């Protein structure tokens, strides 16, 4: 788990970088600005999409709430892995209860039996991809990273997901690239690297302390051995 020490430069860098990354995510979400790359859509399509733009701000708040809840979930998982470091067992429990909750929700929302039929189309590929990559591989990788680096390191990649989705939207779907997205992306990257610098500095400090303590203990051992040897060689009269 992360320890916050206000006098430590590494803690200050991690706190500042986190705030900067969150600010960059808000800039991408709420500030649009002039277009840099115009979308590959005609005016009629834009007029049809325009009424939906009134809910973008509400969607931004939903994304912010999701990020907060996911961060809390990462912290809870890190605490659980610290007390119970059995990755496979934890994955089994998580998949088991997630399957039960997903089945209950799906049966409540989707009541038509025809919707449950599997067909050899893109939908089946999406289901398989979501199960293998989105659930099994991603959750395993997430828990492994939590054990290795802690919840802060994992949570810092959440703002980068907004940046990646913006880039992929421009390349694949022909979305427009606006000034707000570019400015927010730069702010997110700066905050991310500030946090990574703080993590690296903290790890170097821990390594230096461990090296210093090991050297100090190795210097003390020969002195103790020499004193015992001198006592054996020169017994008291």
Helix or strand (DSSP H, E) at 234: none
- Express each pLDDT in 198-233 by its tens digit: 877 777 765 555 554 555 555 555 544 544 444 555
- Express each pLDDT in 85-129 by its tens digit: 887 888 888 888 888 998 898 888 888 888 788 788 888 888 888
Helix or strand (DSSP H, E) at 133: none
With 0.75 as the threshold, say if the pTM is over it. Answer: no
- The reported pLDDT for the residue numbered 2 is 62
**Mean pLDDT of all residues in the chain?**
75
User: For 129, what's the count of Cα atoms within 13 Å in the CB-facing half-sphere?
Assistant: 6
Pairing of strands 177-178, 35-37: antiparallel
Helix or strand (DSSP H, E) at 1: none
Of 128-132, 148-152, 177-181, which range is least confident? 148-152
pLDDT bin (cut points 50, 70, 90) of residue 1 is low
Has residue 235 got a pLDDT over 80?
A: no
Has residue 147 got a pLDDT over 50?
A: yes
What backbone phi and psi angles, to 5 degrees, belong to 73? -65, -40
Has residue 176 got a pLDDT over 50?
A: yes
Residue whose C-alpha is closest to residue 182's, from 22, 32, 53? 32
- Express each pLDDT in 31-73 by its tens digit: 888 888 777 765 445 555 555 455 667 777 787 788 778 878 8
The sign one gets for the Cα dihedral 76, 77, 81, 84 is positive
pLDDT bin (cut points 50, 70, 90) of residue 4 is low
- Cα–Cα distance for residue pair 212/206, rounded to 1 Å: 10
Question: Who wins on pLDDT, 180 or 162?
Answer: 180
- Express each pLDDT in 63-74 by its tens digit: 778 877 887 888
């Amino acid at each position: 788990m992360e320890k916050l020490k206000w006098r430590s430069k590494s803690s200050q860098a991690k706190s500042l970088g986190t705030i900067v990354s969150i600010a960059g995510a808000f800039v991408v979400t709420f500030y649009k600005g002039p277009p840099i790359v115009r979308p590959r859509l005609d005016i009629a399509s834009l007029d049809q999409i325009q009424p939906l733009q009134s809910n973008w701000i509400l969607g931004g708040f939903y994304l912010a709430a999701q990020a907060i809840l996911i961060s809390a979930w990462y912290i809870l998982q890190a605490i659980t892995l610290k007390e119970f470091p059995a990755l496979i067992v934890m994955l089994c429990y998580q998949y088991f209860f997630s399957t039960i909750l997903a089945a209950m929700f799906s049966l409540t929302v989707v009541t038509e039996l025809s919707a449950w039929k599997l067909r050899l189309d893109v939908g089946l590929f999406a289901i398989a991809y979501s199960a293998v990559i989105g659930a099994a591989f991603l959750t395993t990788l997430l828990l492994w990273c939590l054990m290795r680096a802690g919840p802060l390191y994992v949570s810092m990649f959440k703002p980068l997901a907004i940046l990646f989705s913006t880039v992929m939207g421009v390349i694949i779907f022909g979305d427009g690239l606006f000034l707000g997205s570019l400015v927010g992306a730069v702010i997110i990257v700066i905050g991310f690297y500030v946090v990574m610098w703080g993590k690296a500095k903290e790890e170097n400090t821990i390594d230096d302390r461990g090296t210093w303590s090991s050297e100090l203990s190795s210097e003390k051992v020969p002195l103790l051995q020499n004193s015992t040897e001198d006592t054996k060689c020169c017994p008291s009269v």
